[in-house]
Amino acid sequence: MNTVNMTWQDFFEEEKSKEYYKSLIKSIDNAYITTRVFPPKEKIFNAFNLTPLSNLKVVLLGQDPYHGEGQAQGLAFSTPPNVKNPPSMKNILKEIESDLQRESVCEDGDLNSWAKDGVLLINAILTVEEAKAKSHHKIGWEQFTDNLIKFISTNCKDIVFIFWGASAIKKEKIIDLNNHHILKGVHPSPLSSYRGFFGCKHFSRTNNILKQCGKSEIKW
C-alpha cells in the first residue's frame, strides 16, 4: 500500500483546468458522436476505477486500445473473458508460465484481477477509432499520460513501472529513479516478442521488488 494521501480525483482536478485537456475532451466527445470509438465511452477511465491510488503498486503501460469490436475495456492489454486472446496477450501468458512455472490467473485475457491487485493497466492513448490503430495519436492523450506518470512519480514511492516497446520506454525520463523502479524491454507483439520479450522475467522481477519494499506480490 502507498502512504499517499491523494486520490486520482486530485490528478483529474488538476488536468481539467488545462487547455490541452479541455481540447482533448472536446475532440473525444465529438469522435464518439461521429465515428465508432473504443473502448465504450464509460470505460475510458476504467483503469482508475479498478486501481485506487492508495492501492497502486505497478504501472503497466500499453500503446493504445484494441480497435476491434468488443475487445477494449479500458485496461491495457486486457479483453473481456468471452473474447479470444489477441496475439500480444497470448505472448504475455506464455512468458508468465515460463517465468513463474505456472499458468496465469488470467488465462482468459481478462486482467481485472491484476487491476484490483494494484496494477494500473494504462495505455499511452486511451481511445481509438474502429480498425484504425493509433488514430487518436496527438490529440492530447500522450500529454495526459505524461502528466499522469509525473503525478505518480511525485506522489508515490517504490512503484514498479513496466515499459514494453520504444514508445513506452520514452516515458522513463519523467520518473524519479531514486524513488521508483523501472523494468523495460521489447513489446510482446509477435513482431518483436522474440527479440527479448520472452525471457524478460518481468513478472517475477516485479514481485521480488515489491517484496523487498514490504509490499504484497501481484497474483499474475
Q: Which residues are catalytic?
A: 64
Number of other residues whose CB lies within 10 A of the CB of residue 166: 12
Angle at 115 between CA 112 and CA 120, to 5 degrees: 140
Residue 128: which H helix or E strand, with range?
strand 128-129
Distance, CA of 86 to CA of 75 (rounded, Å): 14
- Write the single-letter amino acid at 103: E
DSSP helix, strand, coil percent of the chain (3-state; round to 5): 40, 10, 45
CA distances, 87 to each of 123, 171, 209 (Å): 17, 24, 28
Read off the C-alpha cell for 147: 502528466
